[in-house]
Amino acid sequence: MDAHFLRYVSVLLPLLLLTTGATYETANFSVDAPSAESARQFAETAEQCRKDLAILWLGKTLPDWSEKCPVKVHVGNNLGAGGRTSFVFENGEVFDWDMEIQGSHERILDSVLPHEITHMILASHFRKPIPRWLDEGMATSVEHHSEKANYRQLLRHCLQSSVQRCFPLNRMVAMKDYPSDPMPFYAQGFSLVEYLLECGQQLDDAPHCRLVRFAQSATHDDGWQSALQEYYGIENLGDLQTTWVKWVGNDGQTPPTVVQSEPATILPVASVSAEPLPAYGKSIYDRRVEPIPASLGRNTVLR
């Protein structure tokens, strides 16, 4: 065989191995990542997240899924932390998982995987779509503290802005899809979930499970007002909005309390101060948003 050809193959083969990546499988995930070691670490972290977060939100572990979820991972320090997970609801079942995620190695482990897997746990439990603000807010609440701090900061700027970028709660709870300006929606949903978790913490030692039961009640026949009264002692959405905004304005330092008020139609902003926003390019602004066409019948959650 020609020596030049052999040298060509000896150089090309390692490059092909580097670019094709590696796959590692666990009971519920099949992870495709840039290297064998990273694929193993991401897959094992995904399994651990699935177990730990199911206990956190549901008080119990989940049985294995009938099919593994394929996970495509793009790793790079220049990539914003984010992802897309899609699945199908049909006849009370959820299946056909598919996940694609990106970010630095660290943020994928401590933020992106916990976020996406929370979506999957909620889908497995509810077996139907739940309101986007709850779905995204609950998923964001398990991210790394640095990511959550970015959302808090963004929310304060949105509430202070002269342009109305946040939603009255009576409108927000009715939204079934993402708005055209999604980042304030993410920040508001996360903050409301964080507030309700603090309210729940005053009532029992399992505030995450309480929030899931609240969501179950609110999205069935009981409605938001009845569920707020039953699970948090909050009279209506107007009272929730009033006390939540006060809590945000005091940097979350004011203990959650209920202030009786008329149902609110706009978000008050006077008491909310703000710090400089992080520079563009932080992961909070660099989400991948590639929704799958609705014609395919899939439910897609975007981070």
* Predicted pLDDT at 132: 92
Report the alpha-carbon distance of residue 250 to residue 254 in Å, rounded: 6
In a domain, 263, yes or no: no
* Predicted pLDDT at 208: 98
* Predicted pLDDT at 298: 52
Residues 121 and 144 in one domain: no
Residues 291 and 243 in one domain: no
Q: What digits encode the pLDDT tens for the residues 68-121?
A: 999 999 999 999 999 999 999 998 899 999 999 999 999 999 999 999 999 999
Q: What digits encode the pLDDT tens for the residues 246-303?
A: 999 887 655 555 433 444 444 444 344 434 333 322 333 333 333 333 333 456 655 5
Tokens of 194: 């964080």
Residues 18 and 113 in one domain: yes
For residue 5, is pLDDT > 70?
no
97: left (phi over 0), alpha (psi -120 to 50) or beta: beta
In a domain, 61, yes or no: yes
Mean pLDDT for the chain overall = 81
* Predicted pLDDT at 281: 28
Residues 199 and 234 in one domain: yes
Residues 165 and 97 in one domain: no
* Predicted pLDDT at 158: 86
Residues 157 and 234 in one domain: yes
Please give the tally of structural domains in the chain: 2
In a domain, 25, yes or no: yes
For residue 151, is pLDDT > 70?
yes
In a domain, 272, yes or no: no
Q: What digits encode the pLDDT tens for the residues 185-209?
A: 999 999 999 999 999 999 999 999 9
Name the residue range of residue 154's domain. 139-249
Contacts of 231 (CB under 8 A, 6+ apart): 200, 210, 213, 214, 217
Residues 117 and 31 in one domain: yes
